[in-house]
A and B are shown apart, each in its own frame.
Chain A
Amino acid sequence: MQKIGVFVCWCGSNIAGTVDVEAVSEAMKSVPGVVYSANYQYMCSAAGQKLIADAIHEHHLDGIVVASCSPRMHENTFRKTAEAAGLNPYMVEIANIREQCSWIHKDKEEGTAKAIVLARTAVAKLLHNKPLQAGTSAVTKRALVIGGGIAGIQTALDVADAGYEVDIVEQRPTIGGRMAQLDKTFPTLDCSACILTPKMVEASQNEKINIISYAKVEKVDGFVGNFKATIRKKARFVDETKCTGCSLCMSKCPSKKGKDEFNMEMNNRPAIYIPFAQAIPNVAVIDPEQCLKLKTGKCGLCEKVCTAGAINYKQQDELIEREYGAIVVATGFKPIDPSPLNEYGYADNADVITSLELERLMNAAGPTKGTLLRPSDLQHPHEIVFIQCVGSRCDENTKRGKPYCSKICCMYTAKHAMLIRDKYPDTKVHVFYIDVRTPGKNFDEFYRRAVEQYGVDYIKGMVGKVAKEGDKLMVRGSDLINNQQVEIAADLVVLATAIEPDPTARSIGTMLTASMDTNDFFTEAHAKLRPVESPTAGIFLSGVAQGPKDVPETVAQASAAAAKVIGLLAKDHLVTNPCVAYSNELLCNGCSQCEKVCPYGAITYIEKEVRGPGVREVRRIAQVNPAVCQGCGACTVTCPSGAMDLKGFANKQIMAEVDAICL
């Protein structure tokens, strides 16, 4: 008979408030197998852990149950405690009596009764636990960063600084991301390109960093420390090693009707192009949908004018296979398309634009060379209306937008308003807002400057309709403070659109088996304590891929993710999860069912002499590679003969739990 100790945690009043911890620990004493039971205010504290260690020594315990918070919180803590006291760390079970009991029940009697069942269930499982030994696996000392915006660049620079190789995979022809499209940055108003491009150059010149642009990660196999990625580098039709970035081809290209993605499609670009002057790599790319030579076979002008001989119409996609120890997701965001919100008339009126479009209109490298002109007639607008929360903070049930606050819009609108008032004092600026949210260093001061110093007219209320009347846009909305309806005849309407994760995020998340929330933002391992790690080991989160953020927050998170990556790559070996599948040779008949459902290819078959009661023959049997198995258990249920079982979550253990609950 095993000797089990039960330790009931009060968690201050978190558990003890709704669960009679004394009664639980008393009730445990009569459960078969339990030889010791105690309760303490904070089991996870040094004193609490000492209590456990002392009890293990004193009562020669074979296993312990800690009735406390979720195992996702402190399972590791108590495993370490047990290990330090000489117990196998897998002889520890947690009864979750906080998140799944005391916090959701108010009635003390009910909570206590449930806590007793949960603790009893954990004991029942523990009686079938077996000591497990964790193995080790090597770590590939290279990181993969998906996304080359400011988040990816910062993470890559920090990881490279520590001496590890980093590959940045960027889907666009250049790194730089959204920040490259911004004109100025709040709250200091320094020019975005001036602070970003030196970082881009630094990344390109760092010998540890390898930038793979115009590429996408197509497949990822493996696990923490040992990922294997297949990267498709799309054909640019330009030899990256030869192109000098002289841009002569751009001026000679006859097919100039391409939409300039960098300028939010507000002007045209040639079929062969460099996205912007400071692009890295500063190499041209041919749009195959637009190039006359690639579409019709006639033209070839760029090849003729290129003195470097860099044009190669026959270039093919290239597949790169590399191994990585860690993967960082820095896939960033895009503004939503406000067309479906037809009260704002974005789809019908050229002069209703998004904030990112305004950003390009105000930029010296933008379609108007930095002069603020409205798109319809290239006239200077004298009355501008900004509308906040377009597609943000919407009721989820209406499906008209995102439920979350996009976080950056209040500040960039204050920035836009201030810059316009500064440059064109004759222009009136109105801002319709629901709330102004400025919780950041020097943010509120910045917003107040827009109001007090620059006289921007902030109107608390929502806009009901934007309609074209003559060459004006009539903006009708409510002014909640003066309790009246207002109508403004505007020349230009700017929508502060919500931001959403990049459209590639969902497929990348699926590929990495990294969990995401309902809005396609990547979920962190712990919302407060592990904010830059994905619950999937070896996957780290950087920037807006995890949730809306401004530039300083993105950079901070990018560096934090880098610190976590460095911590991982600095290890020579990782301890592997011992909760893996194994086959019972006597029961296995080599039918291959388990191999078909294994997502990791961890199962192989060998011819082996099987010896057992009345059996002695060479048979084909399944064998699990414990370094590859991730312990999902798909094979255990598929196995028709019941030969497969999972360590740590064995059939007997789960059956015992079912029995204990239904007792």
Chain B
Amino acid sequence: MSVSNPNWKPKIVAFCCNWCSYAGADLAGSGRMAYPADVKIIRVPCSCRVNPLFILRAFERGADGVIMCGCHPGDCHYTSGNYFARRRMTMLFSMLDYLGIERGRTRVEWVSAAEGAKFSKTMNEFVKTIYDLGENRKLGDLRCKK
């Protein structure tokens, strides 16, 4: 997809669970492992707190990509939350794909509190994918556009 607006910067929402991925993002920060500023993190207690509606809302409001990070399967602070999250996201992402939001715009990644480098690498990759895909034009609520 060609990018019509040369000043376009992607809007990327990252949901991070408090125990693993948010700490992993902090570790990426204290280790000065850079990733693009387009990524903005929302802290949630657990990946299972991420309601599919939040992701739909993000796309509705003009997000170009949404990534959800949680503890590795088996390591959830709340024992089983990330399993629920995984199933929900599998369903949601295939539905979004059907609606025209490319698979590359949505992603789930497991990042532990010790994996600052993985967090940074994941975000770099994800942002690159979004740049390659260009601006998202699906699902956006025109009333929200300026």
Write the residues of chain A forming the contact surface with B, with a CB cutoff of 8 angstroms. Answer: 70-72, 96, 98-101, 103-107, 110-111, 113-114, 117-118, 121, 509-510, 513, 515-518, 523, 535-536, 579, 597, 599, 630-634, 636-638, 646, 649, 651, 654-655, 657-659, 661-663
Nearest first, the 8 A-B pairs at minimum CB distance are: A99-B29, A633-B49, A662-B61, A632-B78, A517-B114, A632-B46, A634-B48, A99-B26
Extra 9 A-B pairs, beta carbons < 8 Å, given A510-B74, A523-B113, A636-B49: A103-B29, A105-B34, A515-B113, A518-B114, A535-B113, A630-B78, A633-B49, A634-B49, A661-B11
| The stretch of B15-23, B93-101, B127-135 that contacts the partner chain | B15-23
Answer whether A637 and B25 are a contact pair too, CB < 8 Å, given A518-B114, A518-B115, A661-B40: no
Answer whether A599 and B81 are a contact pair too, CB < 8 Å, given A515-B75, A633-B44, A637-B88: yes
Q: Please, which residues of chain A bring their CB within 8 A of the CB of B71?
A: 515
From B32, B43, B49, B57, give the contact of A71 (CB < 8 A): B43
Complex alpha-carbon distance, A509 and B88, angstroms: 26
Interface string of B23-62 (1 = CB under 8 A from A): 1011011101111010011111110111111100110011
Complex alpha-carbon distance, A579 and B78, angstroms: 14
Answer whether A649 and B45 are a contact pair too, CB < 8 Å, given A105-B37, A518-B114, A658-B57: yes
CB distance from A246 to the nearest CB of B (A): 46
Answer whether A517 and B112 are a contact pair too, CB < 8 Å, given A510-B74, A632-B49, A638-B84: yes
Q: Please, which residues of chain B bring their CB within 8 A of the CB of A633?
A: 44-46, 48-49, 81
CB distance from A407 to the nearest CB of B (A): 17
Interface string of B115-138 (1 = CB under 8 A from A): 100001000000000000000000
Instruction: State whether A646 touches B42 (Cβ < 8 A).
Output: no
Q: Does B90 belong to the interface (CB within 8 Å)? A: no
Q: Does B76 belong to the interface (CB within 8 Å)? A: yes
Q: Please, which residues of chain A bring their CB within 8 A of the CB of B4?
A: none
Complex alpha-carbon distance, A70 and B49, angstroms: 20
Complex alpha-carbon distance, A411 and B8, angstroms: 58
Q: Does B79 belong to the interface (CB within 8 Å)? A: yes
CB distance from B89 to the nearest CB of A (A): 11
Q: Does B77 belong to the interface (CB within 8 Å)? A: yes
Instruction: State whether B113 touches A634 (Cβ < 8 A).
Output: no
From B32, B62, B112, give the contact of A662 (CB < 8 A): B62
Answer whether A114 and B44 are a contact pair too, CB < 8 Å, given A70-B26, A515-B71, A535-B77: no
From B33, B51, B63, B120, give the contact of A637 (CB < 8 A): B51
Answer whether A513 and B29 are a contact pair too, CB < 8 Å, given A72-B23, A637-B49, A637-B84: no
- Looking at A98, A518, A632, A661, which has the most chain B CB atoms within 10 Å of its CB? A632
Q: Please, which residues of chain A bring their CB within 8 A of the CB of B52?
A: 637
Instruction: State whether B37 touches A113 (Cβ < 8 A).
Output: yes
Q: Does B69 belong to the interface (CB within 8 Å)? A: no
Instruction: State whether A100 touches B26 (Cβ < 8 A).
Output: yes
Instruction: State whether A634 touches B35 (Cβ < 8 A).
Output: no
- Looking at A72, A99, A523, A659, which has the most chain B CB atoms within 10 Å of its CB? A99
From A513, A523, A535, A654, give the contact of B54 (CB < 8 A): A654
Complex alpha-carbon distance, A110 and B36, angstroms: 9
Complex alpha-carbon distance, A99 and B57, angstroms: 26
CB distance from A588 to the nearest CB of B (A): 17
Answer whether A513 and B44 are a contact pair too, CB < 8 Å, given A99-B29, A661-B13, A662-B61: no
Q: Please, which residues of chain A bring their CB within 8 A of the CB of B43?
A: 71
Considering only CB atoms, which chain A residue lies closest to B66 in the complex?
Answer: A658
Considering only CB atoms, which chain A residue lies closest to B118 in the complex?
Answer: A518
Q: Please, which residues of chain B bring their CB within 8 A of the CB of A597?
A: 48, 80, 84
Instruction: State whether A535 touches B34 (Cβ < 8 A).
Output: no
Instruction: State whether B37 touches A111 (Cβ < 8 A).
Output: yes
Instruction: State whether A649 touches B11 (Cβ < 8 A).
Output: no
Answer whether A513 and B76 are a contact pair too, CB < 8 Å, given A633-B46, A633-B49, A659-B57: yes
- Looking at B51, B115, B144, which has the most chain A CB atoms within 10 Å of its CB? B51
Considering only CB atoms, which chain B residue lies closest to A517 in the complex?
Answer: B114
Complex alpha-carbon distance, A557 and B54, angstroms: 43
Instruction: State whether B40 touches A98 (Cβ < 8 A).
Output: no
